[in-house]
Structure formats: C-alpha cells, structure tokens
A and B are shown apart, each in its own frame.
Chain A
Amino acid sequence: SAVISQKPSRDICQRGTSLTIQCQVDSQVTMMFWYRQQPGQSLTLIATANQGSEATYESGFVIDKFPISRPNLTFSTLTVSNMSPEDSSIYLCSVPGGSYGYTFGSGTRLTVV
C-alpha cells in the first residue's frame, strides 16, 4: 500500500490565521481525501481532491474555508483559513490503498488559540 507523508505533524495557531497542511504520497493516485477528526469524534470527510479538477466538498465544508490544491498525482494541500478554536482537530489525508482499503497519513494535530 501507499506511504503517506503529512506535514506538519502538529501546530498551534492564532485565531484568524491560516495553516496549510501538506500530503505527499510515494505513488501516483487519482484521488486523495481529506478528513477531520474532532476531539472524541469520528472521522468526517471534508473533500475529495482530484488532480486537474476542482475538489469536491462534503456538506458543511466550503472551499473558502478549506481550499485544496492538487498540483500532481502525488501531492495535495489543505488550507484551514481564518481559523477559530472550533477548527482545533486532527486533519488527515487518505488515498485508496490498492485492494485493501484506504491508507491514512499520520495526521496534523491543530490547536487554535
């Protein structure tokens, strides 16, 4: 299965600022997914990032708040914009893992103060 490198692993940010999270995959993949895991909650899909097209956002998530880039088949970024304490979460990228499920990055633990 693919190996994902996600950066940064953690950050503490001031409210009103933005943070860009990077996800690098060691193989080419058509689709990459961005999830949010709020404290004590399940993983929720934010958006699906396809190379060469606009990302597809799930209900409750908008491009202005979570802009996504997908410049090639091995890389994607998620930006959390104009942050508030409610954005404090773990953010994870994921890719299809061949025949056996999905592979996840180790996550970015974001704290907004």
Chain B
Amino acid sequence: QKEVEQDPGPLSVPEGAIVSLNCTYSNSAFQYFMWYRQYSRKGPELLMYTYSSGNKEDGRFTAQVDKSSKYISLFIRDSQPSDSATYLCAMSGLYNQGGKLIFGQGTELSVKP
C-alpha cells in the first residue's frame, strides 16, 4: 500500500464547475499537508499549505484536512481554463527540518471553456 493515494484522473470539468481533489494517507505521523500545481513542462508550485487538521481558504481554493480519517481535499470554486494542470498532494512529518515530502500520484485536471 502506498503511503499516499491520489486518484490520477484525468478529470475534465466545464468552466465554472466546483472541483474536488482528494488524497488519502496511511502514516499518522504526517503533520504538514500541501497541494502543488504543476503545469505542463514546469516544476510543481505550492498552491496551499495546511498544518494539522482544519480548513484553509485562499481565493477560489479551499484545502481541508481530516486527520482522523487520514483524508485531505482541495476544492476549486468557479474553475477556470487556467486551472488546467496536474494537482499533487504532498505530506511531511517534519517541516523545514529535513522532512521528506511524500507525494500523491497527481490528478490531471482539464477545465473546458
């Protein structure tokens, strides 16, 4: 069993739709949870960062962490064609102290105009 599981998609939605991206994990030591966005032929860029359980909102993006269920989500409201990318969840037990990031497989999202 992989430490982090993510539905690889691909996921195709019409412009304006609400998108839900999800990851499950098995390691209860994970404390830091991140979502990265990766455009084609680019490196991943940090989109959202959450510590422990709870919600975090940034514009059209909301990240949720449920540690009791070992489940994290990223919601994108009013999705735009520019949101078309691969979204990767990532987790770590230690942050900025040599903590290794464990990535999900990535979900490829396409938002159609």
Contact = CB atoms under 8 A, between A and B. Distances in A.
Q: Do A and B come from one complex?
A: yes
Interface stretch (A11-19, A41-49, A75-83): A41-49
A104 B103 contact: no
Interface residues of B, number: 22
A97 B46 contact: yes
Main secondary structure of the interface of B (DSSP, over half): loop
Interface stretch (B37-45, B65-73, B74-82): B37-45
Contacts of B105: 40-42
B88 A43 contact: yes
A45 B46 contact: no
Contacts of B103: 42-44
A63 interface: no
Interface of B: 4, 6, 8, 34, 36, 41-46, 49, 88, 90, 96, 98, 100-101, 103-106
